[in-house]
Amino acid sequence: MKKYKYIIGIDPDAKASGVANLDVEGRKLIRCEVMKFPELINYVTREYSYASTVGVPLIVIVEASWLKESASGNSYNWHIKERDSKRVAAAKGAGVARNQETGRKIVEMLKYHGVEVVEIYPLRKCWNGPDGKITQGEIEQFIPEFPKKSNQETRDSALLAWNYAEFPIRIKVQPKLK
């Protein structure tokens, strides 16, 4: 795998996507926040343009949940419960579709601007948070100086970048509370 100085991880969301810029050599996050679509495109293209100008390798990683399909051909990166009504299930499906389309548009726009983008499958959900998502306490254990306050999108984008850099993820395992 090509060595990159910077990895930008993006967790797409219809309202505001998580964006994390990882300095691979320094093993630290330069930026980790949520951005609306236009701001995200502006930020990433500006960072990529600057990196290209000075000859620094940078890559963008986008979580592409649309790549993950069930046997029926539908994406299964969402969490329907047996007790959910048809209305709730439809709303969850519509939300997933909006997020997936946002992700597709992010990839399309960045490629249009000449940015090197990789679409990756969603990471396995094996954490202690709701629906197996990573918690603040868990991510703070392996990413130095991670922001003390974050939301799920920023944690997921940082995890994408950290994982793509193939950095170790070591945490103290604690049983899930019921």
Compare 148 and 132 and report the one with higher pLDDT: 148
- Tell me the whole-structure pTM to 2 decimals: 0.81
Fold of the 6-164 domain: Nucleotidyltransferase; domain 5 (3.30.420)
Q: 67: which residues sit within 8 A by CB, 6+ positions away?
A: 119, 120, 121
pLDDT (0 to 100) of residue 146: 83
Q: 102: closest CA among 6, 18, 8?
A: 18
Largest CA distance in the chain: 55
Between 101 and 161, residue with greater pLDDT: 161
Q: How confident is the model at residue 116 (pLDDT cuts 50, 70, 90)?
A: very high
More confident: 15 or 89: 15
User: pLDDT by residue (tens digit) across 35-92?
Assistant: 999 999 999 999 999 999 999 999 999 998 878 764 444 444 555 666 767 776 676 6
The overall average pLDDT reported for the chain is 82
The whole-number pLDDT of residue 163 equals 86
For residue 103, what pLDDT is reported? 86
Q: Alpha carbon of 26 to those of 41, 117, 149, 158, 176: distances in Å?
A: 25, 22, 22, 15, 33
Judged against a pLDDT cut of 90, whether residue 22 lies above it is answered with yes
Q: Is the pLDDT of residue 178 over 60?
A: no
Instruction: Find residue 75's DSSP bridge partners.
Output: 69
The predicted structure's pLDDT at residue 78: 52
